């Protein structure tokens, strides 16, 4: 493999050509996603080189996009659900064919290693398969009526235009979780991706649009408004959008929720995580090491499910610290296009500054940095966004430990008994993913019980990161309470309607009321 295989500009040109992403003379990307607003510049976190520019939509462009999506909904909702599922199936087939190129595009934009970039595209393929099957399983309930010769049941109808606001760390997968399920349930989608990852959004929208055109349906079923936070604010205040699914920080989620509450509309929030693994004396420490390495270092610690706290029994604390510290020092950091790399860069300078500030705050509180914690030299890591993964021995009640820092920082916390470990685990404001490593069934069942983990995801002998699409994904408390992807998450994109049919010649009232 030549060095050109890892060169950002070379790979960009190959990927853009394969995905047919074309630029205009002024360097901005053209197509139905383009607007008349200011230019948005995107540089790769790998080496700081310019990937390209996108012209953002003006307010008039935004209005046109919402109107186009609304018109598309009028016809799309009347198409039988299995027919909608077939369109989604075709999108999945196109994603399969483009998996390698899209995976590299994720790497170029978000800095993920290639294996993670392709894994994210695989998530899109998987959710297309899931949603296609779901299109034949949108069940309602039949309910026994207390009145004679009455039939009562519930049915589900689509909401309309579903707004999706996604984050940079999963630039395509989160959109697909929402968009494919929303589409088979009869909705159309208006997507506002992170301004840090515009090209993956353009590529996916282009694929969806081409499939829609070939299937004879309106491409505006999958619409894109690509720009900064102003667009998200327009969406949150827009009564034509009855549901906003927003993924990002808790701060952002609160702002979206307040806007939606003011207009009594629905929100689906996937926000911050401060995920922990409890390690008991009976745990298989080989599994612990592998789970922590992927959970804490994967995506350079920039996953919402990243392992941020390791709660270890004091009897094995030294052994766990020594094993992990040795493993951390062997992590290969570098160009994520190189398949031998395990950890790429942070997304931008603000992320690096945030990590350094957090480490200084932890030290000021009395923490001990066990390994890592340094920014890597720009001479060898040209973008300046490369850092060492860090292990810090801390105390669970410190404010810095209670907060989410989107970086590869792992806090090691000690405990004496399982009750204390669970209390430490549940003491943070966030409630997304959790895990316990134990071979004691009493410990694992306690962790999974009502007095155990307070998170939306609870795992036994696997880490906090790497959820499958078949289960509902989401968390409690400051994580927002939303559920996406599998199980019965499709209900979030629909409105429930209870129906009662009287086929008798009389008009009996409920509760035996007589009104004569």
Q: In whole angstroms, what is the distance from residue 32 CA to residue 313 CA?
A: 56
- Contacts of range 502-509, beta carbons closer than 8 Å, 24 or more positions apart: 502/147, 502/149, 502/150, 503/149, 503/150, 503/151, 504/147, 504/148, 504/149, 504/150, 506/148, 506/149, 508/147, 508/148, 508/150, 509/147
SS3 of residue 467 by DSSP: coil
217 Cβ contact list (under 8 Å, min separation 6):
72, 75, 76, 79, 87
Pairing of strands 390-393, 409-415: parallel
β-sheet with 243-247: strand ranges across: 222-224, 188-192, 161-165, 243-247, 266-270
| Annotated catalytic residue within 109, 116, 195, 270 | 270
Q: Which residues pair with 191 in a beta bridge?
A: 164, 224
Q: Which residues pair with 369 in a beta bridge?
A: 392
- Contacts of range 471-478, beta carbons closer than 8 Å, 24 or more positions apart: 473/177, 473/270, 474/270, 474/432, 475/270, 475/271, 475/273, 475/430, 475/431, 475/432, 475/433, 476/431, 477/429, 477/430, 477/431, 478/250, 478/271, 478/272, 478/429, 478/430, 478/431
Is 146 tagged catalytic?
no
Q: Residue 446's closest CA among 477, 479, 474, 417?
A: 417
Is 270 tagged catalytic?
yes
| Annotated catalytic residue within 123, 304, 404, 443 | 304
Alpha-carbon separation of residue 258 from 57, 192, 251, 266 (angstroms): 24, 18, 11, 11
- Alpha carbon 192 to its chain centroid, in Å, reads 13
Catalytic residues: 270, 304
């Amino acid at each position: 493999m030549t060095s050109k295989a890892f060169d950002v500009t070379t790979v960009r040109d190959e990927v853009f050509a394969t995905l047919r992403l074309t630029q205009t003379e002024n360097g901005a990307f053209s197509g139905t996603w383009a607007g008349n607003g200011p230019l948005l510049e995107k540089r790769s976190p790998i080496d700081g080189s310019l990937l390209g520019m996108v012209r953002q939509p003006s307010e008039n462009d935004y209005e046109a996009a919402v109107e186009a999506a609304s018109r598309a909904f009028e016809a799309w909702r009347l198409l039988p659900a299995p027919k909608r599922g077939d369109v989604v199936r075709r999108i999945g087939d196109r994603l399969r064919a483009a998996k390698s190129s899209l995976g590299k595009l994720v790497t170029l934009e978000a800095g993920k290693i290639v294996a993670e970039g392709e894994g994210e595209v695989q998530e899109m393929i998987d959710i297309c398969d899931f949603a296609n099957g779901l299109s034949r399983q949108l069940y309602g309930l039949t309910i026994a009526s207390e009145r004679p010769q009455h039939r009562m049941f519930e049915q589900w109808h689509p909401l309309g235009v579903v707004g999706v606001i996604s984050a940079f760390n999963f630039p395509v997968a989160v959109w697909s979780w929402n968009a494919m399920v929303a589409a088979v349930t009869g909705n159309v989608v208006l997507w506002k991706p992170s301004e840090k990852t515009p090209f993956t959004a353009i590529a996916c929208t282009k694929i969806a649009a081409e499939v829609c055109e070939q299937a004879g349906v309106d491409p505006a079923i999958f619409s894109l408004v690509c720009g900064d936070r102003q667009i998200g604010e327009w969406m949150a205040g827009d009564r034509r959008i009855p549901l906003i699914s927003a993924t990002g920080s808790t701060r952002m989620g609160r702002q979206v929720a307040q806007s939606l509450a003011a207009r009594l509309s629905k929100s689906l929030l996937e926000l911050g995580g401060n995920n922990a693994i409890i390690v008991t004396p009976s745990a298989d420490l080989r599994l612990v090491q592998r789970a922590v390495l992927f959970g804490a270092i994967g995506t350079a610690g920039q996953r919402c499910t990243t392992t941020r706290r390791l709660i270890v029994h004091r009897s094995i604390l030294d052994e766990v610290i020594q094993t992990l510290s040795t493993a951390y020092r062997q992590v290969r950091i570098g160009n994520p296009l190189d398949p031998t790399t395990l950890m790429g860069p942070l997304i931008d300078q603000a992320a690096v500054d945030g990590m350094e500030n957090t480490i200084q705050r932890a030290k000021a509180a009395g923490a001990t940095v066990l390994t890592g914690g340094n920014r890597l030299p720009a001479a060898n890591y040209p973008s300046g966004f490369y850092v060492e993964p860090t292990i810090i021995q801390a105390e669970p009640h410190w404010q810095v430990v209670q907060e989410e820092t989107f970086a590869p920082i792992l806090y090691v916390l000690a405990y004496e008994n399982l009750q204390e470990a669970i209390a430490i685990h549940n003491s943070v404001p966030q409630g997304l993913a959790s895990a316990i490593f134990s071979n004691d069934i009493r410990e694992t069942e306690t962790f999974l019980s009502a007095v155990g983990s307070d998170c939306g995801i609870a795992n036994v002998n696997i880490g906090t990161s790497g959820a499958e699409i078949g289960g509902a994904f989401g968390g409690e408390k400051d994580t927002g309470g939303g559920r996406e992807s599998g199980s019965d998450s499709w209900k979030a994109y629909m409105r429930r309607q209870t129906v009662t049919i009287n086929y008798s010649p009389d008009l009996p009232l409920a509760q035996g009321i007589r009104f004569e």
